[in-house]
Structure 1
Amino acid sequence: MIMAPWVWVSLALALLASAGFGAPPADMKLQAYLLWGTNDRNPPADRNYQPVNPDIRQKLKSLPLKWAHWYEVKRVDFQVAPGASREVTLSDKCQVKLRQLASAEVEVLLIGQGKEVMKRRQALPKGDLLVLGGNSPNATAWLVVLKRNE
């Protein structure tokens, strides 16, 4: 049996539609947290630091960190388009530059006091946390946590 040309065209269009030629990938929505770690039960009295969220606290407990208490210093909501980069300033000494490479893969550059502290490339699925840090000169610590929301 020979098919009419319109049947072939319909089949070709159906195959193209199912091959993923739909909407472009969405922007990646994230939160960047600047955290301060200490073994003191309370943050400094002159600072308005808040205890970290339960999901971040749980993640930090699973890591080999020597500090028992973590406080949120600053939080920034931002988004990055596929293939684009975005720089986020968390303090006058701390910036994060994030580039979305693929739908769930990112490249992150942590900048401390104007110098590159670390560069990391990895998958960051929705709901996951990425923890970044460098050397700390005293009995406290500073970390940056990235959380992908969408």
Structure 2
Amino acid sequence: MKPVAFSIRSFRPAGLAAALLVCCLGLSALAGEFRLEAQLIWGTNDPKSPDPRHKPVEEQVARKLKELPFKWTHYFEVNRKEFTVSQQEPRTVTLSEECEIRVRLLEDEQVELTLYGKGKRVGRISQKLPKSEMLVLGGNAPNYTAWFVVLRRKD
């Protein structure tokens, strides 16, 4: 990023506010920080979850999961958490008693997601995560069901 020189006297108050906003947004992007949302999702062929606290996932997520080569027809949200991750420090997020994720921000919008089930590493994936995309990682569960973590950017 090229430094820009300007004189405070050359700006009107509205122009100064816009310049400060652009500078702040630019510094935030340079800091390498993402606001993310993680959803813990249960996949099943049962039309209702046995847990009344589980709610069907939102339509956008359901559509995305149905496009993938999964065999389940119904998806329920178990938990959802928003958090921030930076390049300087990975973030560990607990989604349930048995599910935890570790998220690391790499270069060039790359995110590394590691999924832990019952304290053991279940899987790891790293890929670019543009604002409009979702990253999905999961594993099998008893009774022909599955658990998924869906990761999305919130910024």
TM over 0.5: yes
How much does 1:81 deviate? 1.6
Give distance in 2, aligned partners of 1:40 and 1:131. 21
How much does 1:135 deviate? 2.7
Answer 1 or 2: which has greater helix percent.
2
Are 1:140 and 2:145 matched, yes or no? Answer: yes
Find the structure with the greater CA-based Rg.
1
How much does 1:54 deviate? 1.3
Are 1:68 and 2:73 matched, yes or no? Answer: yes
CA RMSD of aligned residues (A): 1.9
Give distance in 2, aligned partners of 1:143 and 1:16. 42
Q: Is the 8 A contact 1:49 1:73 kept in 2?
A: yes
Q: 1:29 aligns with which of 22, 31, 35?
A: 35
**Equivalent residue letter for 1:132:** L
Following superposition, which runs of at least 4 residues in structure 1 exceed 6 angstroms of deviation? none
- TM-score by structure 2 length? 0.78
How much does 1:82 deviate? 2.7
Alignment length (residue pairs):
133
Q: Is the 8 A contact 1:127 1:149 kept in 2?
A: no
Are 1:39 and 2:45 matched, yes or no? Answer: yes
How much does 1:83 deviate? 3.2
Once the two structures are superposed, what CA deviation does each residue of 1:16-36 show, in whole Å capped at 9, x if it has no partner? 427xxx622352011100111
The SS at the match of 1:57 is: helix
Aligned to 1:104: 109
**Equivalent residue letter for 1:69:** H
Give distance in 1, aligned partners of 2:90 and 2:66. 30
Give distance in 2, aligned partners of 1:85 and 1:126. 19
Percent same amino acid at aligned positions? Answer: 45
Show structure 2 runs of 5+ residues with no match: 5-25
Give distance in 2, aligned partners of 1:103 and 1:25. 13
Give distance in 2, aligned partners of 1:42 and 1:33. 18
Show structure 1 runs of 5+ residues with no match: 1-14
Q: Which piece of structure 1 moves more, 60-69 or 130-139?
A: 130-139
- TM-score by structure 1 length? 0.81
Give distance in 2, aligned partners of 1:16 and 1:64. 45
